[in-house]
């Protein structure tokens, strides 16, 4: 067993190292209203005189029906009818497919994972047959391995004992590919009750494939709860069984993450998503005028702040805010080239705003969508200056910078306003100071952020804030 905190840190590292994978079981789809195995085979069992409630080996039930009916046409029809229903995605689908996971394995026949990935604007390559494994779609974001088949190919879905016994003959490439992924990637198993009829086959295959080359993997479990049992002895029995199962899974290097409710999994996944973006810093600002800041001092602040962030291996995301964007870019590139970090795109993401409306979309609507997408993929937001020319040529606060603050606040980013630079940044600082209980990480640095024009002091404070808020998970 592993604590939720330990799991978050370890799976986050796998995501940041680009070797995280997911293995989805039936439970992930059941939450959307999809049938489980017992429900799928209920009528199949009744057709041959069995009571599905009394059966534990459901693969055998499917095989018995095939034997009795000299074929599997009825089973195929059940798969089509149950797995083509209009089922909505659940929150776990949405959270998982927003994470930068590139390898999805599933034993499910439904297409909910594929639908969720498309909804997340990801291009997918779905592997259903061995022939699919021999070819690759170009420029894909994600590969989905459907190791037991797909609803659109029910006759070849893995359901019966015959299917499992001939698996390594008909689907040997899946076994080989899974072997490579289990050795080189960190898996999260989700939606497995570990009483699923598929599990016996999956776990035995994992252990045989891995041998001594073990790698840590993780699986969610709902903790046995007294409220779910009428009798105390039944609760204690279930508790002992769960503890034994958790210990047994360690043989396969699968460490269990316990939750008190399935909704808690959503919270954990949302936390991981937020933590993943902690190393991306959004710098917001514009400056038609630096006002009472010396020009050289203002340039130095922005340039050296960007340099220091890159030096600390954070990624900078910025637009081309007048008087700010170009300086931020120069500072970032200076450190990238000096430190020989390699590809600048790994550390600097430029987001110039479109300036001309087209396609019948208002520019204001386009900017709002653009801001929402850009800021949602960052964990930290720094605000400085924030002014523009008004209609009468007077310098006024930049409403766009303030809007970016509102979005950052709504998305619960770490917000750092340099109030001493004035204008929108000062307005943001004043608002945060009035509600400082929500921003405890800023308390020690309020005076510096409000009054200082010493670039070294400001940058040092910002680095300390960011380091204290991210070191637990990013180091």
The residues carrying an active-site annotation are 148
CA 399 to chain centre: 31
What CA–CA distance (Å, rounded) separates 224 from 183? 31
CA distances, 354 to each of 40, 90, 364 (Å): 51, 34, 10
Three-state DSSP at 143 gives strand
Three-state DSSP at 381 gives strand
- Of 402, 352, 346, 404, the C-alpha closest to 376 is 404
Helical ranges in 250-378 per DSSP H: 263-276, 295-311, 325-338, 363-376
* Residues contacting 396, CB < 8 A, separation 6+: 387, 388, 389, 390
Burial code (b: 16+ CB inside 10 Å, e: under 16) for 49-85 equals ebebeeeeebbebbbbbbeeeeebeebbebbeebbee
CA distances, 400 to each of 50, 353, 367 (Å): 66, 11, 9
- Of 276, 417, 416, 280, the C-alpha closest to 348 is 280
What CA–CA distance (Å, rounded) separates 256 from 388? 54
Helical ranges in 71-166 per DSSP H: 73-83, 91-98, 112-119, 130-133, 161-165
């Amino acid at each position: 067993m592993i604590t939720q905190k330990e799991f978050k840190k370890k799976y986050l590292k796998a995501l940041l190292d680009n070797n995280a994978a997911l293995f989805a079981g039936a439970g992930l789809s059941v939450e959307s209203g999809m049938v489980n195995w017992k429900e799928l085979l209920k009528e199949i069992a009744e057709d041959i005189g069995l009571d599905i409630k009394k059966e534990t080996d459901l693969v055998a039930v499917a095989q018995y029906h095939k034997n009795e009916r000299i074929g599997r046409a009825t089973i195929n029809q059940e798969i089509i009818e149950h797995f083509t229903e209009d089922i909505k995605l659940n929150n776990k689908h949405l959270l998982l497919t927003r994470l930068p996971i590139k390898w999805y394995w599933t034993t499910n026949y439904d297409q909910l994972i594929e639908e969720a990935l498309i909804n997340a604007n990801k291009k997918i390559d779905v592997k259903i047959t061995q022939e699919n494994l021999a070819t690759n779609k170009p420029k894909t974001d994600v590969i989905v391995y459907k190791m037991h088949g797909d609803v659109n190919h029910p006759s070849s879905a893995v359901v019966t004992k015959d299917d499992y016994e001939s698996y390594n003959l008909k689907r040997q490439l899946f076994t080989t590919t899974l072997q490579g992924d289990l050795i080189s990637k960190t898996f999260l198993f989700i939606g497995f009750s570990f009483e699923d009829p598929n599990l016996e086959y999956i776990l035995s295959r994992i252990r045989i494939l891995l041998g001594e080359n073990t790698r840590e993997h993780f699986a969610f479990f709902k903790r046995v709860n007294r409220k779910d049992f009428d009798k105390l002895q039944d609760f204690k029995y279930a508790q002992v069984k769960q503890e034994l199962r958790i210990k047994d899974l360690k043989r396969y290097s699968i460490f269990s993450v316990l939750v008190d409710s399935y909704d808690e999994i959503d919270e954990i996944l949302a936390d991981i998503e937020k933590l993943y973006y902690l190393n991306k810093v959004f710098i917001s600002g514009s400056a038609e005028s630096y006002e009472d800041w010396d020009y050289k001092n203002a340039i130095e602040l922005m340039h050296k702040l960007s340099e220091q962030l890159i030096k600390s291996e954070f990624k900078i995301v910025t637009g081309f805010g007048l008087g700010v964007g170009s300086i931020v870019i120069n500072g970032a590139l200076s450190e990238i080239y000096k430190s020989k970090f390699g590809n600048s795109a790994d550390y600097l993401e430029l987001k110039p705003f479109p300036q001309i409306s087209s396609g019948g979309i208002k520019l204001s609507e386009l900017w709002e969508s653009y801001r929402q997408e850009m800021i949602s993929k960052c964990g930290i937001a720094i605000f400085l200056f924030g002014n523009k020319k008004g209609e009468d040529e007077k310098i006024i606060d930049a409403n766009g910078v303030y809007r970016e603050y509102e979005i950052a606040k709504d998305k619960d980013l770490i917000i750092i306003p340099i109030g001493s630079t004035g204008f929108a940044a000062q307005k943001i600082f004043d608002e945060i100071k009035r509600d400082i209980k929500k921003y405890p990480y800023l308390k020690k640095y309020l005076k510096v952020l409000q009054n200082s024009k010493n670039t070294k002091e400001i940058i040092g404070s910002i680095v300390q804030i960011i380091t204290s808020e991210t070191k637990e998970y990013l180091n």
